[in-house]
Chain A
Amino acid sequence: MAELFTVPAGVISTVQANWQQLLGGLKITVELSVFGGALAFVIAVVLGLAAMTRFAVLRMISRIIVEFFRGTSLVVQLFFLVFVTPVVFGWGSHPLVFAFVALGLNYGAYGSEVVRGALTAVPKEQWECTTALSMPWVTKIRRIIWPQAWALMLPGLNSLMVMLVKGTAIALFIGLLDLTSVSDNLQKQGAERFTVYGISFVLYYLLAMAFSAFLRRIEVRAQRRLGLKPTKTDTNRATAGALA
């Protein structure tokens, strides 16, 4: 019995001593997730739509960007942004901005494959109907294809978002005090490791689940609008397809 009580006591004292720093780290992680995720979404939509136009040049540009950001390491991309662009292009900025640009580009490239996959998955007959009704490209995408693809892409975007939340830990590499850096620092300063990393685990998990639940709600609404019953959560299948 005594054992059981000593551990929580240690946890409580560790939390009491460090909660402000942990909260600060969480704040940075949330910011990176929200802004990185928003930028990634915009990039995913733009690149995904570009991949579907009848203009070969646009399709090719989209392809190259996607291949580049998927095919190279996120950490190297981040280092490049932080340490090379200021020297070569004279773009200096806050490391937070660089981290969120790197996250946006990298996850946006993955996301564009989800978007493209969803647009392609809208039945061919729906596309043909829009042609039979003489709809111009923008109209057919905006009014008919996108609303259907939207429901299809959300599971894939959802699991990418969960990965992005965890991926924000790259902030550690450029000295940002996010949740991972803070945990690391506290541990180095002698805080109890089990507790510090345990708290970090739980916070990441809760954060990821919060985003996931939010996107899941949007997905259910999108499916209802199409007259579908909400499907069971099966984000893994959709992502596996998109990342293959």
Chain B
Amino acid sequence: MRVIQDTVVIAAVEKMCIEANCHLCEDVKSAIEKGRKEETSPIGQYILDQLIENAEIADSCNMPICQDTGMAVFFVEVGNKVLIEGRNLTEAINEGVRRGYTQGFLRKSVVADPFFRENTKDNTPAVIHYEFTEGDRLKITFAPKGFGSENMSRLKMLNPSDGMEGVKEFVIDTVLKAGPNPCPPIVVGVGIGGTMEMAALLAKKALTKPIHEKNPVEYLDRMENEILEKINETGIGPGGLGGKTTALCVRILVYPTHIAGLPVAVNINCHAARHAEVVI
């Protein structure tokens, strides 16, 4: 067994919360810059210029790229030879969030109850997804999620006969319905298969994949490119004000499903597509 102190987890999470929110990942940054080079709409160019300048200011002043520093979402891989000493892992991650969001002057956007809506004032609780793996390491992926784009996400239980065309149509329709609201250029995460909640989880997880990474599954890679092309033909453009840079990428994850179903979830992320990873 490898023993990891809870304090190590807390410190790592605290640091990730601040860094991911203040420094735009290289993959997203270069995708926006590439979009700027190819954008032909003047208003689209103007918005993309602002986004590039914004990321530079955030980076140099160590301040959040966007004021919506999100709900803290984590994907955690726990090796079977790892033992966390002290607080349990969930409590340790939440403590890291509490410290990171406070020390980093990040916005606290979480309310304790969906109806009574009192702010918890430290951005906890986080949303944490665990997976168990082989080995003695702990891998934590952090992806704070803003709700301008989260609110534009959708899920549908398609019929098996709807097939790939049905999925593509649903994804594009979701992007059209979202229009300017999720702060385009967007990143589109698609989860297909499993059960209802599994599809949603896959869609979220897809958003944590680096933008330039090719999908290892050949047909999914083709599908991603086809959907991306169609989305960028819609003309929604940066800020929804017209242009061809509507999405930076589409990422798809699939899972086995039931003979009767074809669940599909579309999780939309904005250009402030923040993600960070640490291996302990």
The answer to whether A and B belong to the same complex is: no
- Chain B residues at the A interface, C-beta cutoff of 8 Å: none
- Chain A residues at the B interface, C-beta cutoff of 8 Å: none
